[in-house]
Chain A
Amino acid sequence: MSYEELLTQTALANEQVIVMTAENRALVRNLPGILGKRFIDTGITEQTMIGAAAGLALRGRTPVVHALAAFLTMRAFEFVRTDVGIANLPVKLSSFIPGFLSDGNGPTHQAIEDISIMRGIPNVTVFAPADEDDLVKMLPQIWESKSPAYTRINTRKTTYIHEPFTPGKAEVISEGSDVTILTYGLLFEQALIAVEMLKSEGLSVGLINMRSLKPVDEQAILKASAQSKLVVTLEDHFLTGGLYTIVAEVLLKHRTTANVLPMALNEKWFRPALLPSVLEHEGFTGKQIAEKILGYQTAHNQPQILTPEFSE
């Protein structure tokens, strides 16, 4: 099922659902004709759209709002925080082209701090599906919840069939004693490739699709840290404030530690190009991920190299 089909089905089944967009109709093109007045396009006005969504939610509606991730989170940040977060209203933020998915757009469109800033707002929950199958398995529960929710929309198709979703629970793909990769969003695809390569090198490899970044599955993180010699956090996000930070917080909260290798964007925006080239250039292909992990394993055995290299 596609995102649009799921949204159509949900909105037809529930009169309270309102679909909104700040003139970003890419994935909701058929909905104006189907939903009539329950489809609201406010034009290129992310802030006003969020405020209006809060007003609609005050009247008992569940607005599912669409805009580009960078503008939904940053242009409208104070509106999300003040109108939706403080009021704790069930506004569902569908954010398009987050992370590397904005590939050729350049830094203005790169939402690589979105997890960080959205999870910083009390009441707002944060989700990041691995692919379209994961997305359509996650969204029904996200939409049914009474909480404000931010979802990184990812409609890429993969061959992986995901488990049913429970908010706050990660999807454990495999467990391993040598290394466990924790990831979310489109890098899940690359992680699958990396896992196969690492396994072919004889390593015992775990992979966890985090799915829900707030609330986060603390037990999955703690278990992976306890049973694997190395934990890798893999994300198309700034190093600060994303999964690496979440893992660090969880470990410290539980007074434990682990060898953690972060793969994220450290103090830099990524070079714009088509997605495969971006991944290659930034070092996030499955092969590069596997090589970096193997390199870290080696480096880790050499005490003089204390920290891995993250940036260019």
Chain B
Amino acid sequence: MITVENNNYQELTDTALKVREHIIRMSTDGGCFTGASLSAVDLIVYLYNRFLNINKDNLNNPERDYLFLSKGHDVPALYGTFAELGLLEKERLKNHLLLNDHIYWHPNTKIPGIEFHSGSLGHLPSVAIGVAMDLKISGSTNKVICILGDGELNEGTCWEAMLVANAYKLDNLLFVVDRNHFQANMRTEDLIPLEPLADKFEAFGAAVKRIDGHSFAELDQAFGAFPFQAGKLNVIIADTVRGKGLPSIQERADRWFCNFNADEIEQLLLELHGQHNTTLTSETLVVR
């Protein structure tokens, strides 16, 4: 889907802004994983708009690319992107957490475009491996992407899956780490340190690129080079910022999950658009 000439990222920037708006609007009446999902917005917007062969007409076509969102908390970014792509009616985002729809805190396949349910961490690397294996067996050239959280890398099955991906030389598979440097409640390096992360992946046999996950140019360059090493599992570590786009919640451990009132949502939308530089004093945060 990439054209080398297309280095104008204004459209992606505009879409990402809209997706962030959707996430903010979902952060009320029960809330959602606001901080956790804002870090993945640029990555997900980039992937669906420029990289993946996935659109509303081929969702059930076996000859499509696959994206597995193992970091289930990023799902508001996915829903926002789906809404902007036309996979999901925008109106349905208002059904977040309502019984009459299936839009809730973790991905599920009742929403068109979601390939597999997730939420329990460390599961989708292996599911993605199964799909990548079948694409190889079937002679298909489609790509499989699995987005992982850095906190998720605590789960042993991520590393187990990497051993298997390495053994089967799955160069049609790309693990992308949304490296926002936070676990649920604290910084990764303060709880379960991951660095040197690229070295760890390389030691497991992967070909690794580390980029700024908010730079469309860097995303373009890294994904455009995929597979950057044939015969290997490819890994992109996308360094990101938790709560990206909202300075008042950015990089805050306590803004993983947020449940704001209507006034706060309005303030955050203004903040997003840069019209105000507000500081939240909300105590409505809910920790799950």
Tell me if B269 is interfacial: C-beta within 8 Å of chain A.
no
Q: Which residues of A contact B (CB under 8 A)?
A: 18, 37-38, 40, 42-43, 45, 47-61, 63, 78-79, 82-83, 86-87
What residues of chain A lie closer than 8 Å to B109, measured between beta carbons?
Answer: 87
Asked if residues A56 and B134 are in contact (CB atoms below 8 Å), the reply is yes
> Which of B125, B134, B157 is within 8 Å of A59, CB to CB?
B134
Asked if residues B161 and A51 are in contact (CB atoms below 8 Å), the reply is yes
Contact string against A for B residues 119-135, beta-carbon threshold 8 Å, 1 for contact and 0 otherwise: 01001111111111111
Taken together as a complex, chains A and B put the C-alpha atoms of A48 and B159 apart, in Å, by 10
Known A40-B133, A47-B157, A52-B133: A59·B127 in contact at CB below 8 Å: no
For the complex of A and B, list the 10 residue pairs with the smallest distance between their C-beta atoms, beginning with the closest.
A55-B130, A51-B126, A52-B130, A59-B134, A55-B131, A48-B126, A55-B127, A56-B130, A48-B160, A52-B129
Taken together as a complex, chains A and B put the C-alpha atoms of A26 and B127 apart, in Å, by 25
Q: List 21 A-B contacts (CB under 8 A).
A: A42-B164, A43-B167, A45-B160, A47-B157, A51-B123, A51-B124, A51-B125, A51-B129, A52-B129, A52-B130, A54-B127, A55-B129, A56-B133, A56-B134, A57-B130, A58-B116, A58-B130, A59-B135, A59-B138, A79-B126, A82-B123
Contact string against A for B residues 19-33, beta-carbon threshold 8 Å, 1 for contact and 0 otherwise: 000000000000000
Nearest chain-B residue to A63 (Cβ)?
B130
Nearest chain-B residue to A81 (Cβ)?
B120
Asked if residues B116 and A87 are in contact (CB atoms below 8 Å), the reply is yes
Nearest CB in chain B: distance from A43 CB, A: 7
Q: Is the interface of A mostly helix, strand, loop or mixed?
A: helix
Nearest CB in chain B: distance from A63 CB, A: 8
Number of interface residues of B (CB under 8 A): 29
Taken together as a complex, chains A and B put the C-alpha atoms of A43 and B160 apart, in Å, by 10
Tell me if B117 is interfacial: C-beta within 8 Å of chain A.
yes
Nearest chain-B residue to A50 (Cβ)?
B126
Taken together as a complex, chains A and B put the C-alpha atoms of A38 and B164 apart, in Å, by 15
Q: Which residues of B contact A (CB under 8 A)?
A: 62, 109, 115-117, 120, 123-138, 157, 160-161, 163-164, 167-168
Taken together as a complex, chains A and B put the C-alpha atoms of A262 and B52 apart, in Å, by 58
Nearest chain-A residue to B122 (Cβ)?
A47
Known A59-B62, A86-B117: A54·B130 in contact at CB below 8 Å: yes
What residues of chain B lie closer than 8 Å to A45, measured between beta carbons?
Answer: 160-161, 163-164
Nearest chain-B residue to A36 (Cβ)?
B137
Nearest chain-B residue to A79 (Cβ)?
B123
What residues of chain B lie closer than 8 Å to A63, measured between beta carbons?
Answer: 130
Nearest chain-B residue to A58 (Cβ)?
B131
Nearest CB in chain B: distance from A282 CB, A: 35
Taken together as a complex, chains A and B put the C-alpha atoms of A67 and B235 apart, in Å, by 29
> Which of A43, A55, A60, A87 is within 8 Å of B126, CB to CB?
A55
Nearest CB in chain B: distance from A87 CB, A: 7
What residues of chain A lie closer than 8 Å to B133, measured between beta carbons?
Answer: 40, 52, 55-56
Taken together as a complex, chains A and B put the C-alpha atoms of A52 and B116 apart, in Å, by 13
What residues of chain A lie closer than 8 Å to B125, measured between beta carbons?
Answer: 48, 51
Nearest CB in chain A: distance from B174 CB, A: 15
Known A47-B157, A51-B130: A37·B137 in contact at CB below 8 Å: yes
